[in-house]
Chain A
């Protein structure tokens, strides 16, 4: 039952951990992990996790509702109102976070920028993830020549500089949400393929997969019904991390002028443009888009680290036990260490 693959050895995945635990108790396990209520209760007890969660939910809601809640259009303004200060620097409520060098409302630009970032992030994760997972499943399950060719493709593409590719493509098709999405997806699917292949290689050797094959399941059914569900935990964790990376990558591309182009709004583009136009005295033009970008990426990372712990039943059990055994010994008053 030992997994030959280094990857799964680390990510002792769900049921393997359950299995170990059973060996420990010698008793069947009533699938507590499947009850998602417990998962949410865990999140609440993790302060950083819940803060990140609330921040992201607010951001997503604000981005979705941007056309209705933004004070002004992000691309219309009055030059006479340029460089208005935020409210807390003596500005007016008309432009709560101030305006930029063209008199555009900064809050509106931040909201629409969030829209761009999140849309690109989600689209890229879905596109790159789907493609990468399919390639990984194919390579891992088929093995042999298919595996060598597909992984060779992955290696070649990983060794090709992504920025160069981006410059080339943007020069050809021009920068837009669509082109940036496609470029980032082309650059980002390999990591899914590699990880998927690694997990498939070890899951494929597990007896229940052989059992499915013995029953006469066709390859497609074996892969999607029996192997893929075992990938959910590592894939979700990877996708969340990739989402954060994509948001940063989009901002970086846009900052360099290789991504989103005016008049579409992007945090990266705003930071670059603010730098071009009168930095001194108007730092908020850089600080607020930058802050929002950093907070978003930080929140996603914190949430993913919570997710990683929460999805590992052994780790959850350990956390639970350290709490429970503490309370019990305290309540018993047996002179134990207590908490």
Chain B
């Protein structure tokens, strides 16, 4: 049902060089007893070297499932059923075990939402970081420990030499997330995938971690893929933003454009319902209704049922991801019509 409206304008002939990472008509399905869940549907985008791309979506949008495919972390009941992910032109999906083994951790590193479950509670953080260094870079034990302390210093952990001897439970949540970032940076990756890196943290700690990611991105000329549900988190950090809804990429634009003038009604709705501290509203705004069932998604636009602008066409036919002259990509029959009436 997806094939009819495959994104028409992905292969942009203007792009000569292969991008760092290219997600091409990716499809991931979850095989459950209740039916096949269409978790990621025909998602295509690419990341250029040095940029920070934010992927924003709510629960069930497929953003995390999509991120897992980048490192070959898709597990049953999930399975990649179509499309491809290419890292510097090499597939990470088809016959990719050798490529993945080389790329994972070395060239692409990932940090997750919950810093506690990602750390092994029985080893000191120094041991855990140096383990990565020794395995991937062949450091000796001594070299690795010295480098581990340097890395902790890099991610802003004071008194790093003493910290390497501590266990994860001795650290606060923010510290643990810093340790995980240090581990992710151990092999000097080119791409850092951060999947909801601050969702489990307090706001004041979130601000610290976001600042840290921003600083590291500039200093190490890192490419960052930031996955989050919070448009606020993306705002200060990302150059471009991709908005996902119901497994589809609905809008891809530069951050400034997207926030100033969202083209897709869902982007606009999400932006309106994100409360702003600098604006007083008499009443909070929400998007009425709930996302569609991903086992039998509607034939038309998945957002149509909640959309104020929906017309018959929206209910019947899925809009393709169309590239507009200003470079924005929007999947909507009534793109750019938000806020006009």
Rounded to whole Å, the gap between the CB of B292 and the closest CB of chain A is 9
**B247: nearest chain-A partner, CB-CB:** A26
Decide: B77 and A321 in contact? CB cutoff 8 A.
yes
Decide: A317 and B291 in contact? CB cutoff 8 A.
no
Decide: A321 and B39 in contact? CB cutoff 8 A.
no
Complex Cα distance, B34 from A320, in Å, reads: 10
Within A13-43, which residues are at the interface with B (CB < 8 Å)? 21, 23-27, 29-30, 32, 38
**B60: nearest chain-A partner, CB-CB:** A26
**A314: nearest chain-B partner, CB-CB:** B77
The one of A25, A318, A334 in contact with B37, judged by C-beta atoms closer than 8 angstroms, is: A25
Q: How many interface residues does B have (CB within 8 Å)?
A: 24
Complex Cα distance, B77 from A21, in Å, reads: 10
Decide: B37 and A321 in contact? CB cutoff 8 A.
no
B211 at the interface (CB under 8 A from A): no
B293 at the interface (CB under 8 A from A): yes
Decide: A27 and B31 in contact? CB cutoff 8 A.
no
Residues of B within 8 A of A25 (CB): 30, 32, 37, 39, 60, 294
Rounded to whole Å, the gap between the CB of A21 and the closest CB of chain B is 7
Residues of A within 8 A of B77 (CB): 317-318, 320-321, 324-325
Encode A307-339 as 1/0 by CB contact (under 8 A) with B: 000000000111011101100110010100000
Decide: B33 and A328 in contact? CB cutoff 8 A.
no
Q: Check A324/B31 contact, CB under 8 A, given A27-B60, A318-B76.
A: yes
Q: Check A328/B36 contact, CB under 8 A, given A26-B60, A321-B76, A322-B76.
A: yes
Complex Cα distance, B60 from A22, in Å, reads: 9
Q: How many interface residues does A have (CB within 8 Å)?
A: 22
Within B69-108, which residues are at the interface with A (CB < 8 Å)? 76-79, 81-82
Complex Cα distance, B94 from A334, in Å, reads: 11
Encode B49-79 as 1/0 by CB contact (under 8 A) with A: 0000000001111000100000000001111
Decide: B34 and A321 in contact? CB cutoff 8 A.
no
Rounded to whole Å, the gap between the CB of B82 and the closest CB of chain A is 7
Within A100-139, which residues are at the interface with B (CB < 8 Å)? none
Q: Check A325/B294 contact, CB under 8 A, given A23-B59, A32-B33, A32-B34.
A: no
Decide: A320 and B31 in contact? CB cutoff 8 A.
yes
Residues of B within 8 A of A332 (CB): 81
Rounded to whole Å, the gap between the CB of A30 and the closest CB of chain B is 6
Decide: A334 and B30 in contact? CB cutoff 8 A.
no
Q: Check A38/B59 contact, CB under 8 A, given A320-B77, A328-B81.
A: no
**A317: nearest chain-B partner, CB-CB:** B77
B268 at the interface (CB under 8 A from A): no
Decide: B61 and A26 in contact? CB cutoff 8 A.
yes
Decide: B59 and A26 in contact? CB cutoff 8 A.
yes
Most chain A beta-carbon neighbours within 10 Å: one of B33, B36, B76: B33
Complex Cα distance, B88 from A63, in Å, reads: 70
Rounded to whole Å, the gap between the CB of A251 and the closest CB of chain B is 40
B307 at the interface (CB under 8 A from A): no
Decide: B60 and A321 in contact? CB cutoff 8 A.
no
Decide: A320 and B33 in contact? CB cutoff 8 A.
yes
Complex Cα distance, B74 from A325, in Å, reads: 13
Interface residues of B (CB under 8 A from A): 29-34, 36-37, 39, 58-61, 65, 76-79, 81-82, 291, 293-295
Interface residues of A (CB under 8 A from B): 21, 23-27, 29-30, 32, 38, 316-318, 320-322, 324-325, 328-329, 332, 334
26 A-B residue pairings within 8 Å (CB atoms): A23-B59, A25-B39, A25-B294, A26-B58, A26-B59, A26-B60, A26-B294, A27-B60, A27-B291, A27-B294, A29-B34, A30-B34, A38-B33, A317-B32, A317-B77, A318-B77, A320-B32, A325-B31, A325-B76, A325-B77, A328-B31, A328-B36, A329-B79, A332-B81, A334-B81, A334-B82
